[in-house]
Structures are given as C-alpha cells and as structure tokens.
Structure 1
Amino acid sequence: MIKKTIGFFMLLLVTLTVSCKNEVLPKPAGQLRLDYPVAKYASFSNHCPFSFDMNEEAIIKEDKNCGFSIQYPKMKATIYITYKTVNKNIDVLLRDAQKLTYEHVIKADDILEQPFINKDSKVYGMFYRVSGNAATNAQFYATDSVQHFVTGSVYFYAKPNYDSIMPAASYVRNDMQRLMETLKWK
C-alpha cells in the first residue's frame, strides 16, 4: 500500500511538474500611438504685408492675393491662410470670419473662443477651438482693424472622426495658434 501511495504521489508530482507552464493569454487590444516630432519653428516672410512663424516640417505654398496653404503631408492636414485688405469694411470681414466658424456648430460638440491681443504688434483677433466631428478643429482671424485682415483654418483629408485624428489635430492646432501669435504686419 505504501508503494502504491508513493507511486501515486510520484506520478502526481511528475504530472504537475511537466504540465506547469506559463499560462497563455490573448494579447489585449492595442491602441495606436501617434508620436510627432517636437515642432521647430522658423520665421516666414515674403512680399506679402505680414510675416509669421511656421513649423519647419510643413510645406508652404502661396496662393493668389497673399493666401497660403501650409501642408502637413504625414498628417493629411492643411492650414489655409487668407489675406484681405481692410477698406472700411472691418464689420463685414469680422462677421464673415465668425460666420465661417459657427457654420460648424451642427457637427461640433463645443466651440471655445480665445481672444488674442498683441498691442506691441497691433494684432487683434480670435482663436477658435472646435471640438467634435466638425470639418475643421481650429480657426482664427487676426487684424490691425485698419489695413490688414488674416483668417486661418485647418482641414484634414479624412472623415472627421475627432477621436481618431485628435493627436494630429492637436499638433496642427498648436502650430496654427503659434502662427497667429507670431503674426506681424510689415
């Protein structure tokens, strides 16, 4: 009987030793992590009546009448800059810029307005952060109220799914805010 008991325990010990392996578990669902390089800015100036800082990673293309498209090919995004001269029509220009922003209210969850005042450079404006699945997540206008009026908006070449594009949207929005804050009239 003792031999049978010892044999049983030996068999049990061998079975437990051989069968003990690391438990295999399925991998948890991974989340895509989008890392972008730290932005480096350089001043941009040409024949137009204003200058600004822009990300060195971006590609700038001049359009007509001192308008620009600043492209981010890796993120499939573009910042569109338009310039207009003020000819006693500042009210109309302001109304149009605000109207453009609030056309996104249908899809937007929230629109945060951030006034901007730089008395030294005589740049006054508004920066809009648009949350939700709107076509644009940021817009701005800047003016000196006398001669110059600049608007900017960012668009992505993808379906506006805010959760999916949020890292890229934040990156480009920060660049656009830097552009507005460094705007100088010539």
Structure 2
Amino acid sequence: MRNLFLLLFTLLFLSCNDVVLPKPKGYLSLTYPEKSYTTLPLNRPFSFDILKNTTVIDETNNWLKIKYPALKASIDITYRPVNNNIKELLTEAEKLVFKHTVKAEQIVPKDFVNADKRVFGSLYEITGNAASHIQFHVTDSTKHFIKGSLYFYVKPNYDSILPAVNYIKEDVLQLIETLKWK
C-alpha cells in the first residue's frame, strides 16, 4: 500500500510540470518603401542618383552624408582629388575596410569597371558584427576619388540588420552605376 501511495505521489508530482516545447523561429516583417531615385541635389565634382526618401547632409571638402532616418543608418561619403597619389588613396581605403577583420566573419570584394564613364572601383560586403557592413571606393584614376561607408546607429547585430543592409546595398549599387564625374 505504501509503495502504491509513493508511486501515485511521484506520478502526481511529475505530471504537474509544464511541458517545454521549442519556440518557433520569429522572423521580422519589415517593409521598406518602394525605391525611387533622384540626382544628387548638391554641386559636387561628381553626381549620382540617390534614394528620394533619404536626407543629404552637406559637409565640407565635397564630403556628404546620406541619411536613412527610418533605418537609423547613413552612407558617409568622402571625396579626395587625385594628385599623383592614387596608390596611396587605394591603400588607405583598403586599410579602412580590413580594420573590420576583428569583428567580421567574411569580407567579400566586388570590382566595378565602366571604362566609358571612367568609373573604376570596388565594393566590399562585410558580414558579421562589424561597425560597417558595406564599404566602397570609386575613382577615375586621374582626378577624382570617392570612398563610402555604411553605418548603423545601433549596436551591430548582423542578423537583425541584414534586411536593412541588403536594402541599402541596392542604393549603393545605384550610386556606383549612375556616378558621373564633372
């Protein structure tokens, strides 16, 4: 009888525990505005198309910042004239890219060549929890050099911001493909 009581008590005690089930993965349901581009409204030694729903901040030395307020991100663009220092400018740009190797999982380069427009450059996709996930540089190799970096104003969590990175990457590609030197 005592054994039966212990068995019932044990079964009762064990049956009161909640069954733990794994939670399904949650996916963000992000929606982005439809893309529509306009030409950069500032007078610079270059021009290119930018997304209409961005804010352009005019900075000194022909530099600028293209802000994405809804995404808490910006593309920071620096301009430098080429004065027989193209090798130095390219080395400096690549050093800035590879500073991210500490946090980056992978750095994937993609080269661009448009000989008709004299636009030559590279785009680097940086995966992992790095500070910048896209960096690029473009030049005509004789007079103009532009470097750009994408930054988010949040703690880097690559999985969370990946959809926004892909959204802005399309705009960076549009920028490079529509770039014209003056």
Interval of TM-score (by shorter of Structure 1 and Structure 2): 0.7 to 0.9
Separation of aligned partners in 2, 1:86 and 1:32: 44
Distance (whole Å) between structure 2 residues aligned to residue 110 and residue 121 of structure 1: 31
Asked if 1:103 corresponds to 2:103, the answer is no
How many Å apart are 1:49 and its aligned residue? Answer: 0.7
Aligned partner of 2:155 among 146, 154, 159: 159
Task: Give matches, 1:137-176, under 5 Å.
Answer: 137-176=133-172
- Deviation of 1:166 (Å): 0.9
Q: How many residues get paired?
A: 160
How much is the aligned-residue C-alpha RMSD, in angstroms? 1.3
Q: Distance in 1 between matches of 2:25 and 2:146?
A: 45
In the TM superposition, what is the alpha-carbon distance from 1:29 to its structure 2 partner?
Answer: 6.2
| Structure 1 residue 106, shift from structure 2 partner | 1.0
Match of 1:33 among 29, 35, 46: 29
| Percent identity of paired positions between Structure 1 and Structure 2 | 47
Alignment of 1:3-82 (within 5 A): 30-82=26-78
The structure having more radius of gyration, on CA atoms, is: 1
Task: Tell me how far 1:182 sits from its aligned partner.
Answer: 1.2
How far off is 1:48 after superposition?
1.2
CA displacement 1:13-66 (0-9 Å, x = unmatched): xxxxxxxxxxxxxx9664321110121111115321100000001110110011
Q: TM-score, normalised by structure 2?
A: 0.84
Q: In 2, Cα distance between the equivalents of 1:132 and 1:166?
A: 10
Structure 1: gaps (5+ residues): 1-26
Does the residue aligned with 1:74 lie in a helix, a strand or coil? helix
Tell me the amino acid that sits aligned with residue 83 of structure 1: Y
